[in-house]
């Protein structure tokens, strides 16, 4: 079993069970305990889990609120971020947009941008932009019970058929140490695939997500091109994010990128 597959299976086990033992994983995968210890060390460094004596446990991160609740929180901040991000999109571009409450606001703000090709896993975003006259590709896959969106192998395979000018991603957290993070593994996998197939990546995150952490790393800060946030973002956190690899920060309502 190759290392990436082993890491994926370890994360699946720990996210479902909450903890695992080194000896049990070694026996299940047919590898040495030392190999498992190295795996756990790498996954801990990436922010996926926390090592304990004899194994590892899931990182203690508060669960996300339901999607329907999140659509009603910090609406003004999300709308400001959405308008700033929409101003960066040029007519005729191809855009990946992942499912999220801030990216949903972004979709609503795209009405004045003409002739876009949108590739998304969000049913809501697909419906809004189709009605606005854009070309829309809705990724296939399995629907989840909370977020009205598709995920899984079919969605990931479909992304591989496209190259986008821009990926617009709304993560759970922007962490100086670990980078862009999501709460669920399937959400992180899909966002990562979009980023890998896009020429540029815009990260939309309100101030509550800056300096926060979550369970699964999407990508490193240096793999993104711009963070767009609201005016309540902590200046020290923003400065640390730039030091750690974030190349560009746009604060909604300010005339230029932070320097």
pLDDT digits (tens, 9 = 90+) for 202-212: 999 999 899 88
pLDDT at 110 exceeding the cut of 90: yes
Interval 178-186 mean pLDDT: 94
Torsion of CA 254, 208, 206, 155, to 10 degrees: 160
User: Which residues, 6 or more positions from 109, have their beta carbon under 8 angstroms from its beta carbon?
Assistant: 79, 82, 83, 85, 86
Q: What is the pLDDT of residue 253?
A: 79
Question: Domain containing 33 — which CATH number?
Answer: 1.10.10.10
Q: Which domain holds residue 7?
A: 3-58
Query: 77 and 43 in one domain?
Result: no
Tell me the pLDDT band of 60, cut-offs 50, 70 and 90.
low
Tell me the pLDDT band of 258, cut-offs 50, 70 and 90.
very low
Q: What is the pLDDT of residue 53?
A: 82
Q: What is the pLDDT of residue 3?
A: 85
Number of domains in the chain: 2
Query: 89 and 53 in one domain?
Result: no
User: Which residues, 6 or more positions from 236, have their beta carbon under 8 angstroms from its beta carbon?
Assistant: none
Model pTM score: 0.76
Higher-confidence residue: 104 or 258? 104
pLDDT at 141 exceeding the cut of 70: yes
Distances (CA, A) of 163 to 86, 94, 115: 19, 8, 17
Query: Whose structure tokens read 């040495």?
Result: 32
79, containing H or E segment: helix 75-86
User: Quick check: is 258 in a domain?
Assistant: no
Torsion of CA 58, 40, 197, 113, to 10 degrees: 30
């Amino acid at each position: 079993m190759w290392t990436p597959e082993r890491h994926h299976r370890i994360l699946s086990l720990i996210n479902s069970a909450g903890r695992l033992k080194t000896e049990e994983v070694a026996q299940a995968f047919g590898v040495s305990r030392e190999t498992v210890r190295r795996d756990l060390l790498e996954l801990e460094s990436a922010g996926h889990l926390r090592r304990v004596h004899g194994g590892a446990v899931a990182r203690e991160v508060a669960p996300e609120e339901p999607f329907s609740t999140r659509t009603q929180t910090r609406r003004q901040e999300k709308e400001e971020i959405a308008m700033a991000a929409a101003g960066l999109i040029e007519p005729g571009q191809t855009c990946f947009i992942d499912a999220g409450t801030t990216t949903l606001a972004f979709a609503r703000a795209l009405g004045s941008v003409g002739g876009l090709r949108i590739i998304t896993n969000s049913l809501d975003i697909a419906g809004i932009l189709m009605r606005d006259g854009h070309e829309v590709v809705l990724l296939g896959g399995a629907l989840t019970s909370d977020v009205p969106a598709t995920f899984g192998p079919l969605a990931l395979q479909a992304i591989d058929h496209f190259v986008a000018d821009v990926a617009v991603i709304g993560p759970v957290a922007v962490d100086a140490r670990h980078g862009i993070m999501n709460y669920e593994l399937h959400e992180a996998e899909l966002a990562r695939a979009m980023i890998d197939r896009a020429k540029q990546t815009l990260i939309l995150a309100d101030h509550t997500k800056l300096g926060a952490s979550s369970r699964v790393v999407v990508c490193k800060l240096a793999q993104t091109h711009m963070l767009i946030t609201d005016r309540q973002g902590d200046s020290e956190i923003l400065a640390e994010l730039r030091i750690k690899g974030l190349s560009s920060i746009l604060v909604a309502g300010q005339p230029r990128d932070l320097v």
